[in-house]
Amino acid sequence: MVLQDKIWLGTSKEGQVTLLKQMANRHGLISGATGTGKTVTLQVLAEGFSKLGVPVFLADIKGDLAGLCLPGELNEKIQKRLEQTGASGFSPKGNPVVFWDVFGEKGHPVRTTVSEMGPLLLGRMLDLNETQTGVLHLVFRIADDEGMLLIDLKDLRAMLTYCGENAGQYTLRYGNITKASVGAIQRAIAILEEQGGNDFFGEPALEITDWLRLDENGNGLVNILSAEQLFLRPNLYSAFLLWMLGELYEILPEQGDQGPLRMAFFFDEAHLLFKDCSKSLLDKIELTIRLIRSKGIGVFFITQNPADVPSSVLAQLSGRVQHALRAFTPAEQRVVKSVAETFRVNPEFDTEQAILSLGTGEALLSFLDEKGTPGMTQKAIILPPESRIGTISENLRSEMINTSDLYGKYEESFDRISAYEVLSAKFFGHGVQATSVLTEEEPVQAPEQEATVPTMVKTAFKVFDPQTGTYVTQESFVPAPVQPQQQTVYSPQPAGVPQVQVQTPPVLVYNPKTGQYEPGELPSQAAPKPRSKAPKTVKKEKTLAERMIENVARSTASGAGYTIGRTLSRNILGVFGIK
């Protein structure tokens, strides 16, 4: 509820607790356990910013924020809350809402290009390590230097393959590009494609200025991103929201801290942003949060546990809405104590005990005053929203999408010539070249072939014309793919080809009749006949009786030889008188 150019968020014993519009760019934190009322608090703040003429962006993870487009109901529960808070003049009313969806199912499609996402956030989306992210940086640098547009994932795939195949010529200039890193990135891209990444990267890319609009009554448009499916892909969800913050920072001009608030940005489930966050990405988040307030952007993080937010980022969040926390373990009790110490002390109650005893719809509130000083912590009851709490029907959602003035701008995607088409065209004319045969005879001059003119094919693509605000069709002629020539397979020569006759060179032969050498021919030598192999005899196995007779004969012959030899030796020695 808006009260005197302020957002009346809750009521305490001291009175109304409000958030000043000019202090909303100091950012804030909404935390609390599940079921303590964080979504209602977010809804009250969102419709309050809208009534103050500030566009709003928020992610609808559970589907229960779509009710912002419809007026609420004055039931018994709402009436009781109004009596507790003392809110008078409450009138149920809806808000101007535009639905968005990365997958284009429950809202206008949201797309961006690979180049706009950048290697740092893309590495986060693909869950790459530092080495692989470094290789991705090099690929983006090479693409920029060679004029390759990286629009969708197939462009990135083609560029990775190109850099991997030509890594040798890029190593000395850019750095080492290993095939292992390129392969790991390709696998991560394949996983992202299965998760619907092709729906997110492409054209037409989202124009952030479409979120910074007011309706005919001066109310800020509430841009609701359907994140029921996106939330199931935490890396894609966190990288997408970070990309939007980065785009807002780059597009919006500097205005200083005293300028008007241009947009309120609610980052639900903020713990996904900082989970497994690299130091380089954390430094970029901290820098963006610190500097984006001078662009007129107020960022509010929503999470269950304040400890999920790094202290360097938590120090930048001035507005605090603390719902109840539960402490069942010593570790949780230490968290509650540390959270209580971050609030300004109120002598009326113990902050630590108050955090543990808060009921549903109650919260500790602390905002900056006109001088920028943190206000006294107050225990308050949150006001009910004027819009409906809960979901809406699919028919109503479809009707609001089809009747939106943005319908038709992002629904149809197109694919213009980019890195994939340029790199693919390099291989269209590559065919298999024929080979030549070398012979002993003089080569015959081959007839010159006429230069072939490539066949041109007409292609059409759409380009956004900023002057007319529409997409115009342009035509272009590109070379048609050339069919590769068939490779010639050379077989043995046929019988009709004449054989080359080899003549025997002349020699000089000696003539004994004349005593001179005369020209003649060497007698032809008949080819030697192949030697026939003798038939191989098969050794016959002897019987036992034959082996015994052979052994007796061998022994007898040996003994007889010994006797004869001894007699001859004695007779010869006796001739010389030797006995």
CB 37 within 8 A of CB 363: yes
Q: Give the C-alpha separation, 546 to 550, whole Å.
A: 6
Q: Which of 17, 20, 26, 22 is nearest to 6 (CA)?
A: 20
Under-50 pLDDT residues of the chain: 429-444, 446, 449, 451, 461-464, 466, 469, 471, 478, 482, 484-498, 500, 502, 525, 527
CB 366 within 8 A of CB 14: no
Q: Going by C-beta distance under 8 Å and a sequence separation of 6 or more, which residues neighbour residue 541?
A: none
pLDDT tens by residue, 439-448 = 334 444 545 5
Report how far apart, in Å, the C-alpha atoms of 525 and of each of 245, 521, 528 are.
98, 12, 8
Q: What is the pLDDT of residue 486?
A: 47
Q: What is the pLDDT of residue 115?
A: 93
Q: Which of 395, 384, 406 is nearest to 96 (CA)?
A: 406
What's the token pair of residue 378? Answer: 């107050």
| DSSP symbol at 220 | B
pLDDT tens by residue, 177-223 = 999 999 999 999 999 998 888 888 999 999 988 999 999 999 999 99
Q: What is the pLDDT of residue 439?
A: 31
Output the CATH code of domain 6-111+208-402. Answer: 3.40.50.300
Q: Going by C-beta distance under 8 Å and a sequence separation of 6 or more, which residues neighbour residue 356?
A: 324, 325, 326, 327, 336
Ranges of each domain in the chain = 6-111+208-402, 115-193
What's the token pair of residue 91? Answer: 């009138």
Strands (E), 3-67: 6-12, 15-20, 28-31, 56-60
Q: Full-prediction pTM beyond 0.85? A: no
